[in-house]
C-alpha cells in the first residue's frame, strides 16, 4: 500500500507522518507485563492496540521487515511483595502469571511479537549500561545503591511536556536518604535477605525497573529505533526515565522517534484500579465470552481516548459480530482489501473508522457474491476478527449459566459488603466469580445491576 502512516507522537504531542530510520528494519518496543498478578482488561488494551499497529506496519513495509519487541518484567518490587503475600516462590509466581498472560494473548487473538525478552535473562546488559552511565558522569553510587542524577540530563521532562519541578510535585517520588536529590531514580539496589540477587560491582542486588526496558530495547533494536509504546500511565516516570538513561548511556540525541500511548479503561468513568475494587481479569471472561468480543470492544474507541467498559458495550459488540457471521466463509487464500477501506488504520490507527468501513463491506457482502464475502472476512481478519469458524462462534453462544437469580443477588450483596469494608480483594474476587459464570455486573450511581451474558 502506498499511503503514508500517521501516528500521534507523545514526544511533541502532535500527529506526524511515520518515517522509519530504515524502511527495511522497522523497530517497535512495547512495555509488556510485570508478572505479579493476572492481567486485567486495562492490560488488554495495549496488547490489542499495538497488535493492530504491528499488523499495519507489516502491511506497509513487509512481514519480515518489522521487529516487534515486548518484554516480560519478571523481577520487581511488586513481584517480591506478591510472592510473599501468596506464600509461593518468585519462580512459581512469575512462571504461572507468564503462562496466564500468554493464554490471554491467544484468547484475544494477538500475534506473537518477534522477541519477548525477560528481564532476568538480561541482567549483565543492565550492569554494562549502569557502568556506562557512571563513566559518563550521569550516575552515582551511595550505600550500595546506584542512582541516575536527573538534573544532569537537560532534556528531562520533554516527553511529558513538563518542567522537573512540576513532575516531582505531581508524582509519588521515592524518598531515600541515599539520594543526592529527591528526583533521582534508582538504577541498582541491594537485595534484602531471601530476595533474588545478582553479583555486580556495587554488591549483590538487582536492577531498577526503568533500566530493564532500556537494556532490552537496546539489545534487540539498537541505540535508537522507531516506535516505543505503552499505556499513558507509563509516560512519567517510566518512559521519561528510559529516555534519560538510554540517551546518556548511548550518547545519542534520540532514543525512540515516536512515542505511542493508549488511554485508560474506566468503569463508570473511574479508572480501573485495584484500589477501586473494579478489576476485571481477562481469564474470567474465557469460558463464556469469545475473545473476539473483548478484542472488538477494545477497538470501538480511538486508542488515545479513555474507554468506558460496561455491559452495554459487550452486548453491542457481541451482537455485531453475531450479525457479521452471517457473511462468514472459510478463506482458502488472503484476499486484497481495497486500499480506501484500510485508510483509517493508516491515519493514527483509527479503529472506529475502520469498523465503519467493515459495516459497509458487510452490507455489500450481503447483497453480493461469494467474493464479496471473502473480501469482508479478509478485512475482519486483518484486525483479528472472524478468525474462529462459524461452529466455534455458535458454541460460545450456546454456553449456559450454572447460577440462578437468587444466588446472583446474594453474591452482589456480599460484594457490596466487601466494598463497604474496603476489602477490595474480596470484592474483585466475587465480581470475577460471577463473570466466570456468565454474569456481568455494573456499578452506576451507587447501584449494582447485572445481566446474563
CA distance 368 to 361: 10
What was the pLDDT predicted at 253?
Answer: 96
CA distance 49 to 60: 17
Helix (H/G/I), strand (E/B), else coil: 126 = helix
CA distance 237 to 403: 45
What was the pLDDT predicted at 398?
Answer: 66
Q: Residue ranges of the domains in the chain?
A: 7-265, 287-398, 405-452
Q: What is the pLDDT of residues 91-119, one digit of tens each?
A: 999 999 999 999 999 999 999 999 999 99
What was the pLDDT predicted at 277?
Answer: 67
Asked whether the predicted pLDDT for residue 74 surpasses 60, the reply is: yes
Instruction: Name 373's Cβ contacts closer than 8 Å, sequence gap at least 6.
Output: 327, 328, 329, 365
Asked whether the predicted pLDDT for residue 388 surpasses 90, the reply is: yes
Tell me what the mean pLDDT of segment 170-189 comes to. 85
Helix (H/G/I), strand (E/B), else coil: 338 = coil
Q: What is the pLDDT of residues 202-252, one digit of tens each?
A: 999 999 999 999 999 999 999 999 999 999 999 999 999 999 999 999 999
Q: Among candidates 7, 5, 115, 111, which has minimal Cα distance to 60?
A: 5
What was the pLDDT predicted at 336?
Answer: 83
The DSSP line for 235-304 is IIIIIHHHHHHHHHHHT-S-SEEEEEEEPPEEETTEE--GGGT---BGGGGTTTS-HHHHHHHHHSS-TT
- Cα separations in angstroms, 342 against 2, 234, 368, 374, 392: 11, 29, 20, 16, 27
Asked whether the predicted pLDDT for residue 367 surpasses 90, the reply is: yes
SS3 per-residue string spanning 87-122: CCCHHHHHHHHHHHHHHHHHHCCCCCCCECCEHHHC
Residue whose cell numbers read 484468547: 107
CA distance 275 to 59: 41
Decide which of 3.60.15.10, 1.20.140.160, 3.40.50.920, 3.40.50.620 is the CATH code for 7-265: 3.40.50.620
Tell me what the mean pLDDT of segment 112-129 comes to. 98
What was the pLDDT predicted at 400?
Answer: 47
CA distance 426 to 243: 39
Residue whose cell numbers read 538480561: 122
What was the pLDDT predicted at 155?
Answer: 96
What was the pLDDT predicted at 449?
Answer: 87
Using alpha carbons only, give the angle 118, 265, 210 rounded to the nearest 5 degrees.
Answer: 30
Calculate what percentage of the chain has a pLDDT beyond 90: 76
pTM given for the model: 0.88
Amino acid at each position: 500500500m502506498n499511503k503514508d502512516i500517521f501516528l500521534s507522537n507523545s514526544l511533541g504531542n502532535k500527529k506526524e507522518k511515520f518515517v522509519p530510520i530504515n524502511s527495511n528494519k522497522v523497530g517497535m518496543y512495547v512495555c509488556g507485563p510485570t508478572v505479579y498478578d493476572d492481567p486485567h482488561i486495562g492490560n488488554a488494551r495495549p496488547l490489542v492496540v499495538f497488535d493492530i499497529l504491528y499488523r499495519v506496519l507489516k502491511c506497509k513495509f513487509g512481514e519480515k521487515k518489522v521487529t516487534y519487541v515486548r518484554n516480560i518484567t519478571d523481577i520487581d518490587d511488586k513481584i517480591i511483595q506478591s510472592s510473599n503475600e501468596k506464600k509461593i516462590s518468585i519462580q512459581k509466581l512469575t512462571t504461572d502469571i507468564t503462562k496466564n498472560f500468554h493464554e490471554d494473548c491467544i484468547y484475544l487473538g494477538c500475534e506473537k511479537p518477534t522477541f519477548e525478552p525477560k528481564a532476568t535473562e538480561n541482567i549483565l546488559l543492565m550492569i554494562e549500561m549502569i557502568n556506562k552511565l557512571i563513566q559518563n558522569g550521569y550516575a552515582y553510587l551511595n550505600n550500595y545503591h546506584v542512582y541516575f542524577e536527573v538534573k544532569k540530563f537537560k532534556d528531562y521532562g520533554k516527553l511529558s511536556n513538563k518542567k522537573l519541578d512540576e513532575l516531582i510535585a505531581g508524582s509519588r517520588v521515592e524518598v531515600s536518604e541515599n539520594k543526592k536529590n529527591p528526583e533521582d531514580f534508582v538504577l541498582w539496589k541491594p537485595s534484602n535477605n531471601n530476595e533474588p540477587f545478582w553479583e555486580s560491582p556495587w554488591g549483590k542486588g538487582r536492577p531498577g525497573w526503568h533500566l530493564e526496558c532500556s537494556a532490552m530495547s537496546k539489545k534487540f533494536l539498537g541505540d535508537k529505533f522507531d516506535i516505543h509504546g505503552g499505556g499513558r500511565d507509563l509516560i512519567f516516570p517510566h518512559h521519561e526515565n528510559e529516555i534519560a538513561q538510554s540517551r546518556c548511556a548511548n550518547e545519542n540525541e534520540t532514543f525512540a522517534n515516536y512515542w505511542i500511548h493508549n488511554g485508560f479503561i474506566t468503569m463508570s468513568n473511574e479508572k480501573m484500579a485495584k484500589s477501586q475494587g473494579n478489576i476485571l481479569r481477562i481469564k474470567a471472561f474465557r469460558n463464556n465470552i469469545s475473545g473476539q468480543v473483548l478484542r472488538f470492544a477494545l477497538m470501538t474507541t480511538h486508542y488515545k481516548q479513555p474507554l468506558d467498559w460496561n455491559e452495554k458495550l459487550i452486548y453491542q459488540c457481541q451482537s455485531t459480530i453475531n450479525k457479521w457471521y452471517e457473511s462468514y466463509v472459510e478463506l482458502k487464500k488472503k484476499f486484497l482489501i481495497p486500499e480506501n477501506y484500510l485508510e483509517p488504520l493508516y491515519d493514527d490507527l483509527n479503529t472506529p473508522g475502520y469498523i465503519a468501513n467493515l459495516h459497509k463491506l458487510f452490507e455489500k457482502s450481503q447483497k453480493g457474491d461469494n467474493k464479496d464475502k471473502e473480501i469482508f472476512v479478509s478485512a475482519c481478519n486483518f484486525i483479528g476478527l472472524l478468525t474462529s469458524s462459524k461452529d466455534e462462534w455458535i458454541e460460545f453462544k450456546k454456553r449456559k449459566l450454572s447460577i440462578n437469580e437468587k444466588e446472583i443477588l446474594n453474591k452482589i450483596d456480599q460484594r457490596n459488603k466487601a466494598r463497604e469494608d474496603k476489602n477490595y480483594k474480596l470484592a474483585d474476587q466475587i465480581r470475577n466469580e460471577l463473570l466466570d459464570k456468565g454474569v456481568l455486573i455494573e456499578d452506576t450511581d451507587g447501584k449494582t445491576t447485572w445481566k446474563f451474558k
